[in-house]
Amino acid sequence: MSVHFAERESDDPADDRPGDPASPRTAGPLAAAGLGAHGQVSGILEAAGDEYVRAIAAGHYHSLAVTDGGRLLAAGMDEDGQVTGIVAAASGKPVALVAAGSFHSLALTRDGRLLAAGKDHNDQVSGILAAARDRRVTAADGGTVHSVAATAEGELLAAGHDGDGQVSGILAAARGRRVAAVAAGDFHTLAVTQDGRLIAAGRDEDGQVSGILAAARDKKVVAVSAAALQSLAVTDDGQLLAAGRDGNHQVSGLVREAQGRRIGAVAAGSLHSLAVTLDGELLAAGKDGDAQVSGILAAVAGRPLALVAAGGFHSLAVIAPDGPRGRTVGADLRREAGPEEGCSLRLLPGHEGIDGLADVALEGGGAARVFRVREGAAVRLVVREGEHVVGEGVLYFTYEEATGVVGVDTRASRFPSHLTCTSHGANRFTFTWHK
Protein backbone atom coordinates (compact mmCIF):
# COMPACT_ATOMS: atom_id res chain seq x y z
CA MET A 1 0.00 0.00 0.00
CA SER A 2 2.63 2.47 -1.04
CA VAL A 3 4.08 4.11 -4.10
CA HIS A 4 6.28 2.03 -6.37
CA PHE A 5 8.56 3.15 -9.20
CA ALA A 6 9.50 0.95 -12.08
CA GLU A 7 12.74 2.72 -12.94
CA ARG A 8 15.70 3.60 -10.76
CA GLU A 9 19.02 5.36 -11.23
CA SER A 10 20.67 2.08 -10.35
CA ASP A 11 19.71 -1.28 -8.93
CA ASP A 12 20.98 -0.25 -5.51
CA PRO A 13 18.15 0.82 -3.20
CA ALA A 14 20.56 3.07 -1.38
CA ASP A 15 22.18 4.71 -4.40
CA ASP A 16 20.93 8.24 -3.85
CA ARG A 17 24.39 9.84 -3.95
CA PRO A 18 23.46 12.76 -1.69
CA GLY A 19 26.59 14.64 -2.63
CA ASP A 20 25.68 14.70 -6.31
CA PRO A 21 23.48 17.73 -7.12
CA ALA A 22 21.96 15.89 -10.06
CA SER A 23 20.70 13.03 -7.88
CA PRO A 24 17.09 12.83 -6.69
CA ARG A 25 16.53 14.16 -3.20
CA THR A 26 13.28 12.65 -2.04
CA ALA A 27 13.85 13.35 1.65
CA GLY A 28 11.69 15.94 3.33
CA PRO A 29 9.26 16.56 6.20
CA LEU A 30 6.59 13.94 6.84
CA ALA A 31 2.85 14.68 6.68
CA ALA A 32 0.05 12.31 7.71
CA ALA A 33 -3.73 12.35 8.00
CA GLY A 34 -6.71 10.04 8.41
CA LEU A 35 -7.75 7.40 10.93
CA GLY A 36 -5.33 7.44 13.82
CA ALA A 37 -6.96 5.22 16.43
CA HIS A 38 -3.89 3.00 16.69
CA GLY A 39 -1.29 5.77 16.46
CA GLN A 40 -0.62 5.23 12.75
CA VAL A 41 -0.88 9.00 12.22
CA SER A 42 0.19 10.72 15.44
CA GLY A 43 2.71 8.01 16.29
CA ILE A 44 4.59 8.14 13.01
CA LEU A 45 4.62 11.94 13.08
CA GLU A 46 6.00 11.87 16.61
CA ALA A 47 8.61 9.27 15.66
CA ALA A 48 9.78 11.36 12.71
CA GLY A 49 9.83 14.62 14.67
CA ASP A 50 11.92 17.15 12.79
CA GLU A 51 13.89 14.54 10.85
CA TYR A 52 13.63 14.36 7.09
CA VAL A 53 12.04 11.18 5.75
CA ARG A 54 12.93 9.55 2.43
CA ALA A 55 10.72 6.43 2.24
CA ILE A 56 7.20 5.71 3.50
CA ALA A 57 4.59 2.95 3.48
CA ALA A 58 1.16 2.49 5.01
CA GLY A 59 -0.57 -0.72 6.07
CA HIS A 60 -4.16 -1.17 7.11
CA TYR A 61 -3.60 0.35 10.56
CA HIS A 62 0.15 0.99 10.75
CA SER A 63 2.74 3.28 9.17
CA LEU A 64 6.40 2.92 8.22
CA ALA A 65 9.01 5.53 7.38
CA VAL A 66 12.76 5.76 6.82
CA THR A 67 14.77 8.79 7.91
CA ASP A 68 17.34 10.42 5.68
CA GLY A 69 19.97 8.61 7.70
CA GLY A 70 18.42 5.18 7.11
CA ARG A 71 16.67 4.64 10.46
CA LEU A 72 13.39 2.75 10.24
CA LEU A 73 10.38 4.23 12.03
CA ALA A 74 7.11 2.44 12.68
CA ALA A 75 3.86 3.17 14.50
CA GLY A 76 0.30 1.88 14.73
CA MET A 77 -1.40 -1.46 15.35
CA ASP A 78 1.09 -4.07 16.51
CA GLU A 79 -0.99 -7.17 17.27
CA ASP A 80 1.09 -9.27 14.91
CA GLY A 81 4.45 -7.55 15.44
CA GLN A 82 4.18 -5.53 12.24
CA VAL A 83 5.58 -2.54 14.16
CA THR A 84 7.90 -3.85 16.89
CA GLY A 85 8.97 -6.81 14.80
CA ILE A 86 10.13 -4.80 11.81
CA VAL A 87 11.84 -2.25 14.07
CA ALA A 88 13.72 -5.10 15.78
CA ALA A 89 14.64 -6.69 12.44
CA ALA A 90 16.04 -3.37 11.20
CA SER A 91 17.91 -2.52 14.38
CA GLY A 92 21.45 -1.47 13.52
CA LYS A 93 20.83 -1.79 9.80
CA PRO A 94 20.59 1.21 7.43
CA VAL A 95 17.27 0.89 5.62
CA ALA A 96 16.59 2.18 2.11
CA LEU A 97 12.96 1.27 1.34
CA VAL A 98 9.82 0.09 3.13
CA ALA A 99 6.54 -1.52 2.10
CA ALA A 100 3.47 -2.54 4.05
CA GLY A 101 0.93 -5.28 3.70
CA SER A 102 -2.36 -5.03 5.52
CA PHE A 103 -0.92 -6.51 8.71
CA HIS A 104 2.74 -7.13 7.93
CA SER A 105 5.78 -5.01 7.09
CA LEU A 106 8.68 -5.27 4.66
CA ALA A 107 11.94 -3.33 4.48
CA LEU A 108 15.03 -3.33 2.29
CA THR A 109 18.43 -2.55 3.72
CA ARG A 110 20.89 -0.48 1.75
CA ASP A 111 22.75 -3.60 0.73
CA GLY A 112 19.57 -5.20 -0.62
CA ARG A 113 18.66 -7.52 2.23
CA LEU A 114 14.92 -8.12 2.69
CA LEU A 115 13.46 -7.79 6.20
CA ALA A 116 9.90 -8.75 7.13
CA ALA A 117 7.68 -9.04 10.20
CA GLY A 118 4.02 -9.27 11.11
CA LYS A 119 1.10 -11.55 10.40
CA ASP A 120 2.32 -14.79 8.86
CA HIS A 121 -0.64 -17.18 8.82
CA ASN A 122 -0.23 -17.65 5.06
CA ASP A 123 3.58 -17.55 5.04
CA GLN A 124 3.48 -14.02 3.61
CA VAL A 125 6.41 -13.20 5.93
CA SER A 126 8.38 -16.43 6.33
CA GLY A 127 7.76 -17.44 2.74
CA ILE A 128 9.07 -14.25 1.16
CA LEU A 129 12.07 -14.24 3.51
CA ALA A 130 12.88 -17.79 2.42
CA ALA A 131 12.49 -16.89 -1.25
CA ALA A 132 14.78 -13.87 -0.83
CA ARG A 133 17.49 -15.64 1.13
CA ASP A 134 20.94 -14.91 -0.32
CA ARG A 135 19.41 -12.61 -2.94
CA ARG A 136 19.82 -8.88 -3.36
CA VAL A 137 16.32 -7.41 -3.40
CA THR A 138 15.51 -4.04 -4.98
CA ALA A 139 11.69 -3.87 -4.71
CA ALA A 140 9.01 -5.40 -2.47
CA ASP A 141 5.39 -5.01 -1.47
CA GLY A 142 2.78 -6.71 0.67
CA GLY A 143 -0.90 -7.42 0.15
CA THR A 144 -3.38 -8.73 2.68
CA VAL A 145 -2.18 -12.34 2.64
CA HIS A 146 0.80 -12.40 0.28
CA SER A 147 4.10 -10.66 -0.49
CA VAL A 148 6.03 -10.01 -3.67
CA ALA A 149 9.58 -8.82 -4.41
CA ALA A 150 12.08 -8.36 -7.22
CA THR A 151 15.81 -9.00 -7.14
CA ALA A 152 18.64 -6.98 -8.64
CA GLU A 153 18.80 -9.56 -11.45
CA GLY A 154 15.13 -9.00 -12.24
CA GLU A 155 13.84 -12.24 -10.75
CA LEU A 156 10.31 -12.07 -9.34
CA LEU A 157 9.70 -13.59 -5.90
CA ALA A 158 6.27 -14.20 -4.37
CA ALA A 159 4.87 -16.04 -1.35
CA GLY A 160 1.70 -16.34 0.70
CA HIS A 161 -1.94 -17.18 0.04
CA ASP A 162 -2.57 -18.14 -3.58
CA GLY A 163 -6.33 -18.68 -3.69
CA ASP A 164 -6.75 -16.32 -6.64
CA GLY A 165 -3.44 -16.94 -8.38
CA GLN A 166 -1.87 -13.79 -6.96
CA VAL A 167 1.32 -15.81 -6.30
CA SER A 168 1.48 -18.61 -8.89
CA GLY A 169 -0.15 -16.47 -11.57
CA ILE A 170 2.28 -13.58 -11.31
CA LEU A 171 5.24 -15.97 -11.15
CA ALA A 172 4.02 -17.59 -14.36
CA ALA A 173 3.43 -14.22 -16.05
CA ALA A 174 6.93 -13.07 -15.12
CA ARG A 175 8.70 -16.22 -16.27
CA GLY A 176 11.51 -15.31 -18.65
CA ARG A 177 11.15 -11.58 -17.95
CA ARG A 178 13.26 -9.23 -15.84
CA VAL A 179 11.07 -7.43 -13.31
CA ALA A 180 11.83 -3.94 -11.99
CA ALA A 181 8.82 -3.02 -9.82
CA VAL A 182 6.03 -4.78 -7.94
CA ALA A 183 2.78 -3.97 -6.17
CA ALA A 184 0.38 -6.12 -4.18
CA GLY A 185 -3.34 -5.60 -3.68
CA ASP A 186 -5.53 -7.57 -1.33
CA PHE A 187 -5.72 -10.57 -3.65
CA HIS A 188 -3.95 -9.50 -6.84
CA THR A 189 -0.42 -8.60 -7.91
CA LEU A 190 1.12 -6.19 -10.40
CA ALA A 191 4.67 -6.16 -11.75
CA VAL A 192 6.55 -4.07 -14.29
CA THR A 193 9.29 -5.52 -16.45
CA GLN A 194 12.49 -3.63 -17.04
CA ASP A 195 11.29 -2.67 -20.52
CA GLY A 196 8.10 -1.14 -19.09
CA ARG A 197 5.59 -3.91 -19.75
CA LEU A 198 2.87 -4.34 -17.13
CA ILE A 199 1.94 -7.85 -16.01
CA ALA A 200 -0.78 -8.78 -13.50
CA ALA A 201 -2.50 -11.76 -11.92
CA GLY A 202 -5.00 -12.60 -9.21
CA ARG A 203 -8.59 -11.80 -8.32
CA ASP A 204 -10.31 -9.88 -11.08
CA GLU A 205 -13.95 -9.51 -10.09
CA ASP A 206 -13.77 -5.72 -10.43
CA GLY A 207 -11.37 -5.59 -13.38
CA GLN A 208 -8.38 -4.78 -11.19
CA VAL A 209 -6.32 -7.20 -13.32
CA SER A 210 -7.91 -7.31 -16.78
CA GLY A 211 -8.82 -3.63 -16.68
CA ILE A 212 -5.36 -2.35 -15.83
CA LEU A 213 -3.78 -4.69 -18.40
CA ALA A 214 -6.13 -3.36 -21.06
CA ALA A 215 -5.38 0.23 -20.08
CA ALA A 216 -1.63 -0.41 -20.25
CA ARG A 217 -1.64 -2.25 -23.57
CA ASP A 218 1.08 -0.88 -25.89
CA LYS A 219 2.21 1.59 -23.21
CA LYS A 220 5.46 1.79 -21.27
CA VAL A 221 4.68 1.76 -17.54
CA VAL A 222 7.01 3.41 -15.03
CA ALA A 223 5.10 3.26 -11.73
CA VAL A 224 2.49 0.99 -10.16
CA SER A 225 0.48 0.66 -6.97
CA ALA A 226 -2.24 -1.71 -5.82
CA ALA A 227 -4.45 -2.10 -2.79
CA ALA A 228 -7.76 -3.70 -1.93
CA LEU A 229 -9.51 -4.14 -5.27
CA GLN A 230 -8.02 -1.37 -7.41
CA SER A 231 -4.86 -0.92 -9.49
CA LEU A 232 -2.99 2.23 -10.49
CA ALA A 233 -0.18 2.74 -13.00
CA VAL A 234 1.71 5.60 -14.64
CA THR A 235 3.09 5.61 -18.18
CA ASP A 236 6.38 7.08 -19.30
CA ASP A 237 4.60 10.16 -20.63
CA GLY A 238 2.85 10.83 -17.31
CA GLN A 239 -0.57 9.34 -18.08
CA LEU A 240 -2.50 7.89 -15.14
CA LEU A 241 -4.04 4.45 -15.65
CA ALA A 242 -6.58 3.07 -13.17
CA ALA A 243 -8.94 0.12 -12.90
CA GLY A 244 -10.88 -1.85 -10.32
CA ARG A 245 -13.61 -1.29 -7.77
CA ASP A 246 -14.87 2.27 -7.83
CA GLY A 247 -17.62 2.43 -5.21
CA ASN A 248 -16.06 5.48 -3.59
CA HIS A 249 -14.72 6.97 -6.85
CA GLN A 250 -11.22 5.93 -5.86
CA VAL A 251 -10.65 5.07 -9.55
CA SER A 252 -12.81 7.43 -11.60
CA GLY A 253 -12.30 10.33 -9.21
CA LEU A 254 -8.52 10.15 -9.45
CA VAL A 255 -8.67 9.80 -13.22
CA ARG A 256 -10.75 13.00 -13.39
CA GLU A 257 -8.31 14.81 -11.11
CA ALA A 258 -5.40 13.71 -13.30
CA GLN A 259 -6.84 14.87 -16.60
CA GLY A 260 -4.47 17.29 -18.30
CA ARG A 261 -1.75 16.64 -15.72
CA ARG A 262 1.46 14.65 -15.99
CA ILE A 263 1.67 12.12 -13.16
CA GLY A 264 4.87 10.92 -11.55
CA ALA A 265 3.74 8.74 -8.63
CA VAL A 266 0.65 6.89 -7.39
CA ALA A 267 -0.51 5.20 -4.19
CA ALA A 268 -3.59 3.04 -3.72
CA GLY A 269 -5.30 2.71 -0.35
CA SER A 270 -8.16 0.46 0.68
CA LEU A 271 -10.89 2.83 -0.51
CA HIS A 272 -8.97 5.91 -1.64
CA SER A 273 -6.20 6.75 -4.09
CA LEU A 274 -3.42 9.34 -4.28
CA ALA A 275 -1.24 10.67 -7.09
CA VAL A 276 1.51 13.24 -7.40
CA THR A 277 2.08 15.26 -10.55
CA LEU A 278 5.55 15.84 -11.94
CA ASP A 279 5.48 19.33 -10.47
CA GLY A 280 4.68 17.95 -7.02
CA GLU A 281 0.93 18.61 -6.77
CA LEU A 282 -1.07 16.12 -4.69
CA LEU A 283 -4.24 14.65 -6.17
CA ALA A 284 -6.59 12.56 -4.01
CA ALA A 285 -9.95 10.84 -4.42
CA GLY A 286 -12.12 8.22 -2.76
CA LYS A 287 -13.60 7.55 0.67
CA ASP A 288 -12.96 10.39 3.09
CA GLY A 289 -14.80 9.27 6.21
CA ASP A 290 -11.61 9.59 8.27
CA ALA A 291 -10.19 12.59 6.38
CA GLN A 292 -7.70 10.36 4.58
CA VAL A 293 -8.35 12.51 1.49
CA SER A 294 -9.28 15.99 2.71
CA GLY A 295 -6.92 15.73 5.66
CA ILE A 296 -3.80 14.96 3.66
CA LEU A 297 -4.67 17.70 1.17
CA ALA A 298 -4.93 20.13 4.07
CA ALA A 299 -1.77 18.81 5.73
CA VAL A 300 0.40 19.50 2.71
CA ALA A 301 -1.41 22.79 2.02
CA GLY A 302 -0.41 23.01 -1.62
CA ARG A 303 3.28 22.32 -0.98
CA PRO A 304 5.09 20.15 -3.54
CA LEU A 305 5.47 16.49 -2.65
CA ALA A 306 8.19 13.94 -3.19
CA LEU A 307 6.39 10.75 -2.06
CA VAL A 308 2.94 9.48 -1.05
CA ALA A 309 1.56 6.32 0.56
CA ALA A 310 -2.02 5.24 1.16
CA GLY A 311 -3.10 2.84 3.89
CA GLY A 312 -6.37 1.35 5.02
CA PHE A 313 -7.88 4.63 6.15
CA HIS A 314 -4.95 7.03 6.36
CA SER A 315 -2.43 8.74 4.09
CA LEU A 316 1.24 9.67 4.32
CA ALA A 317 3.27 12.14 2.29
CA VAL A 318 6.82 13.47 2.14
CA ILE A 319 7.03 17.16 1.35
CA ALA A 320 9.75 18.15 -1.10
CA PRO A 321 11.68 20.89 0.71
CA ASP A 322 12.77 22.50 -2.56
CA GLY A 323 10.01 21.42 -4.91
CA PRO A 324 10.15 18.69 -7.57
CA ARG A 325 13.38 16.87 -8.19
CA GLY A 326 16.08 19.14 -9.53
CA ARG A 327 18.64 18.04 -12.11
CA THR A 328 21.92 19.63 -13.11
CA VAL A 329 22.56 20.31 -16.80
CA GLY A 330 25.04 22.31 -18.83
CA ALA A 331 24.30 24.34 -21.95
CA ASP A 332 25.82 26.85 -24.35
CA LEU A 333 24.54 29.00 -27.22
CA ARG A 334 25.84 29.12 -30.79
CA ARG A 335 24.72 31.16 -33.78
CA GLU A 336 24.79 29.56 -37.20
CA ALA A 337 24.53 32.74 -39.28
CA GLY A 338 25.69 36.22 -38.37
CA PRO A 339 27.89 37.41 -35.52
CA GLU A 340 27.51 35.60 -32.21
CA GLU A 341 28.23 38.74 -30.24
CA GLY A 342 25.03 40.34 -28.97
CA CYS A 343 22.95 37.17 -29.37
CA SER A 344 21.71 35.70 -26.07
CA LEU A 345 19.27 33.12 -24.75
CA ARG A 346 17.62 33.56 -21.37
CA LEU A 347 16.14 30.57 -19.53
CA LEU A 348 13.61 31.75 -16.97
CA PRO A 349 11.21 30.07 -14.53
CA GLY A 350 7.95 29.27 -16.31
CA HIS A 351 4.40 30.08 -15.29
CA GLU A 352 2.81 26.63 -15.27
CA GLY A 353 2.46 25.03 -11.85
CA ILE A 354 5.59 25.14 -9.76
CA ASP A 355 8.29 27.08 -11.57
CA GLY A 356 11.44 25.52 -12.89
CA LEU A 357 14.78 26.24 -11.29
CA ALA A 358 16.50 27.67 -14.33
CA ASP A 359 17.25 31.42 -14.49
CA VAL A 360 20.29 31.58 -16.71
CA ALA A 361 21.60 33.79 -19.52
CA LEU A 362 23.57 32.08 -22.30
CA GLU A 363 25.68 34.35 -24.47
CA GLY A 364 26.31 33.50 -28.13
CA GLY A 365 29.76 31.96 -28.48
CA GLY A 366 30.26 32.11 -24.70
CA ALA A 367 31.25 29.41 -22.25
CA ALA A 368 28.75 26.74 -21.27
CA ARG A 369 26.75 27.39 -18.11
CA VAL A 370 25.88 24.73 -15.54
CA PHE A 371 22.50 25.11 -13.85
CA ARG A 372 19.62 23.19 -12.31
CA VAL A 373 16.24 22.41 -13.82
CA ARG A 374 13.19 20.46 -12.73
CA GLU A 375 11.71 17.67 -14.80
CA GLY A 376 8.23 18.43 -16.05
CA ALA A 377 8.37 22.11 -15.04
CA ALA A 378 8.16 24.87 -17.65
CA VAL A 379 11.26 26.91 -18.51
CA ARG A 380 10.71 30.07 -20.57
CA LEU A 381 13.01 30.67 -23.52
CA VAL A 382 13.73 34.26 -24.56
CA VAL A 383 16.12 34.93 -27.49
CA ARG A 384 17.56 38.44 -27.80
CA GLU A 385 19.64 40.24 -30.35
CA GLY A 386 21.00 43.18 -28.46
CA GLU A 387 18.04 44.72 -26.63
CA HIS A 388 15.42 43.25 -28.96
CA VAL A 389 13.47 40.07 -28.23
CA VAL A 390 13.48 38.01 -31.42
CA GLY A 391 12.01 34.73 -30.20
CA GLU A 392 10.13 33.22 -27.25
CA GLY A 393 9.10 29.71 -26.30
CA VAL A 394 8.74 27.13 -23.54
CA LEU A 395 11.06 24.22 -22.76
CA TYR A 396 10.35 21.10 -20.68
CA PHE A 397 13.12 18.80 -19.51
CA THR A 398 12.66 15.07 -18.93
CA TYR A 399 14.62 12.64 -16.77
CA GLU A 400 15.18 8.93 -17.37
CA GLU A 401 15.53 7.24 -13.97
CA ALA A 402 17.12 4.10 -15.40
CA THR A 403 20.00 5.94 -17.10
CA GLY A 404 20.24 9.26 -15.22
CA VAL A 405 19.90 11.13 -18.53
CA VAL A 406 18.22 14.54 -18.79
CA GLY A 407 16.44 15.09 -22.09
CA VAL A 408 14.08 17.52 -23.79
CA ASP A 409 10.37 16.78 -23.99
CA THR A 410 9.87 17.58 -27.67
CA ARG A 411 6.12 17.02 -27.52
CA ALA A 412 5.49 19.51 -24.72
CA SER A 413 8.22 22.05 -25.55
CA ARG A 414 7.52 24.95 -27.91
CA PHE A 415 10.76 26.30 -29.39
CA PRO A 416 10.81 29.70 -31.03
CA SER A 417 11.37 29.64 -34.78
CA HIS A 418 15.05 29.33 -35.75
CA LEU A 419 16.12 27.93 -32.32
CA THR A 420 17.15 24.29 -31.98
CA CYS A 421 18.63 22.23 -29.16
CA THR A 422 21.16 19.42 -29.50
CA SER A 423 22.11 16.96 -26.77
CA HIS A 424 25.74 15.87 -26.49
CA GLY A 425 25.21 13.31 -23.72
CA ALA A 426 26.23 13.64 -20.08
CA ASN A 427 23.33 16.11 -19.66
CA ARG A 428 24.99 18.72 -21.85
CA PHE A 429 23.14 20.71 -24.51
CA THR A 430 23.89 23.26 -27.25
CA PHE A 431 21.22 25.73 -28.33
CA THR A 432 21.70 27.05 -31.89
CA TRP A 433 20.13 30.21 -33.30
CA HIS A 434 19.74 29.72 -37.07
CA LYS A 435 19.24 33.31 -38.14
Does 63 share its domain with 196? yes
Which residue, of 319, 335, 362, is where some domain finishes?
Answer: 319
Both 96 and 136 in one domain: the answer is yes
Identify the pLDDT of residue 358.
55
Domain end position, chosen among 295, 319, 343 = 319
Query: Are residue 334 and residue 264 in the same domain, yes or no?
Result: no
Domain of residue 268, residue span? 4-319
Last-in-domain residue among 271, 295, 319: 319
Looking at per-residue pLDDT, the higher value among 186 and 2 belongs to 186
According to the model, what pLDDT value does residue 355 have? 45
> Looking at residue 22, what is its pLDDT?
27
Same domain, 73 and 167: yes
pLDDT for position 353: 40
What CATH number does residue 77 fall under? 2.130.10.30
Window from 41-45, 197-201, 289-293, 431-435 with minimum mean pLDDT: 431-435
253 and 334 fall within a common domain: no
Whether residues 244 and 351 fall in one domain: no
**Do 309 and 386 belong together in one domain?**
no
Band of the pLDDT at 17, cuts 50, 70, 90?
Answer: very low
389 vs 324, which has greater pLDDT? 389
- Same-domain check for residues 133 and 182: yes
Give the residue-averaged pLDDT of 100-113: 96
pTM above 0.85, yes or no: no
CATH of the domain at 429: 2.60.40.1720
Q: How confident is the model at residue 1, as a pLDDT?
A: 58
Residues 276 and 425 both lie in one domain? no
Higher pLDDT: 358 or 77? It is 77
Number of domains in the chain: 2
pLDDT tens-place string over residues 202-221: 999 999 999 999 999 999 99
65-89 per-position pLDDT tens digit: 999 889 999 999 999 999 999 999 9
Q: Are residues 36 and 157 in the same domain?
A: yes
Q: What is the mean pLDDT of residues 358-372?
A: 80
Q: Within this chain, do residues 250 and 352 fall inside the same structural domain, yes or no?
A: no
What is the arithmetic mean of pLDDT over 274-290?
A: 93
Q: Which of 129, 142, 154 is nearest to 7 (CA)?
A: 154
Rounded to the nearest integer, the mean pLDDT of the chain is 89
Confidence check: pLDDT of 11 > 50:
no
Q: What is the pLDDT of residue 5?
A: 40
pLDDT digits (tens, 9 = 90+) for 152-174: 999 999 999 999 999 999 999 99
Q: What is the mean pLDDT of residues 336-355?
A: 74
Whether 402 and 258 map to the same domain: the answer is: no
The per-residue pLDDT for 19 is: 28
